[in-house]
Every structure is written in structure tokens, then in C-alpha cells.
Amino acid sequence: MFEGFTVEDVPVDGADIHVRHGGAGRPVLLLHGHPRTGSTWHAVAPALVEAGFSVVVPDLRGYGRSRGPAPAPDHSAHSKRAVAGDLAQVMSGLGHDRFSVVGHDRGSYVGLRLALDHESRVDRVVLMDCLPLSEHLARADARFATAWWHWFFFAQPEIPERVINADPDAWYTGDPAVMGAENHAEWRSAMRDPDVVRAMLEDYRAGLTVDREHEEADRADGRRLTMPLLVLWSLRDDLAQLYGDPLSIWHGWATRVEGRGIDSGHHVAEEAPGELVEALVPFLARDA
């Protein structure tokens, strides 16, 4: 995977972030979701390099081979604000003062926070299979709780660690024929690490607490994304089934919004990388 990319661990305040980066041109930061690592982009990142971009692919704080601080009682050590701060430092260290952000799933929440907290540095944003956390929670009903029950299970103290670590291979399933053998092996290794499992759970615990508070404060202050925003969603996932047109919600958070569905299941970078690249390249190459 990632032939020709440089692989390194970048120290930032309170964490060491595992990063792959390669290419030349307009910089693009790719942020994975749960429970993946940066290797989920193994088919997308080289295609973006081929299209003329400089591509940066980290493991988020605590995921994969990135390491961060111990969990905090208020979950702030794994908040999207803290993770976004990591990545802003990573991009500075790599010489990228301004860059585009592409986030999927949990990585989209980090991408939103990057764009809000570091607005002068982010020139465009792509958010995939995502609404703001506070919007999900404001609409939480029986359908949401049934379909996305894991949010609330993961928020419980200690119990999910015991359940998952008892048999991580049974809890997290993936098909190497779909994921790619190397991507599957990297992901499987991470899932067997109790420290990674704990960090991933802290991500969710932060989502229901400190991250929600940060988003609600943004709304109270009238903050919105001013850079171009592309929203993509997987047609064989349930975002549109739960909420209708996701763009109708995102218009409340951004001044320039466009988007569409992609014929894929949830892990679109693995299941439909060609269609995803076709959607990304024109948007990322466009002048802001």
C-alpha cells in the first residue's frame, strides 16, 4: 500500500501521530472513520497523487499506530478539538499552511472541527456520511437509537472495553476481499490492541459530551463554515433514510454547500474508490 509515500510518526502536543504522505500540488488531508486506520484510503490516496495533489493520511489520535495521552475524566483528551489540533500541527510540520480536508464518519467530525477552529487554514472541506454530532443527538428517536445503538453502548464506562477486548475478531468484522489484504491486516492488528480500543471508545464518549458542547456553543455564537463544503453520503447506508436530504441540514452550518449520494455501503473509500475519486478531484481542484 501507499507505494512512494513517506511514512513517519510526527510528535505534536500530547500525541505522536502516524502519518503517510506523498505527492506534490495542492495539499489534501484524508481523515478516516471508526474503526478504520489511515490505510482505509489505500486506493484513494494514490489516485489523488496521480491527479496532482499532495496527500496526507494520518491515523487519528489513538487509532491505528497513533498514540495520545491517557483518557481524561471529561473525555477532552479525545475531543474533536484536541484531535483537530493534532492535525493542524502535523500539517504545519509538513509545510502546509493551507489545505483541504476530506473526512469520513468520525473523521468528518474532526474535519468539521478543523474547519471551525482553524478556518484561516482550511480552504475547502469534504464530509462523508456525516451530520454534526449535535444534529444527530437533537434528532435522536427510537429509529436512531435502534440503528446507532453503539453510540450509547460505547459511552458506558468500562463495559464496552471488557466486551470488545474479550473477542475483538468477533466484534469487528471485515472482508479482506473488499478491504484489500494489507489494509485488512493493518486494521485487524489495531483492533487487537486494547489501547486502541480504549481510544476509539473515548472518541465516542467525547462525542456525546464535550464535542456536543463545542458544537452547541458554535451554534449559539452563529459560527458557520465559509469555505466550500462538499457533502457525500453512501446510498446503501442509512443517513438519508434517517434524515432525508442531508444537505437540508448542512445548509444551516455552511454558506456554500453542495453534495450527492454515492452508490456504496458505509466504507466508501474501500467499496467505491473510483466513484469517490471522481467526486473529489473536481471539487478539490476548483478555485475557492
User: What is the enclosing helix (H) or strand (E) of 123?
Assistant: strand 122-128
Cell representation of residue 125: 472541506
- Of 115, 124, 105, nearest to 60 by C-alpha is 105
Catalytic residue of the set 105, 129, 211, 237 = 105
Q: Tell me if 205 sits within 8 A of 159, measured CB to CB.
A: no
266 is catalytic: yes
Q: Point out the catalytic residue in the list 34, 118, 251, 266.
A: 266
Q: Which residues of 139-163 are buried (b: 16+ CB within 10 A; e: fewer)?
A: eeeeebeeeeeebeebbeeeebeee
Whole-angstrom Cα distance, residue 260 to residue 275? 12
The distance in angstroms from the start CA to the end CA of the chain is: 31
The Cβ of residue 92 has, within 10 Å, a number of other Cβ atoms equal to: 13
Collapsed DSSP state (helix, strand, coil) of residue 271: helix
The C-alpha atoms of residue 204 and residue 151 are separated, in whole angstroms, by 6
State yes or no: is 105 an active-site residue: yes
Q: Are 75 and 35 in contact (CB under 8 A)?
A: no
- Which residues have a catalytic role annotated? 105, 266
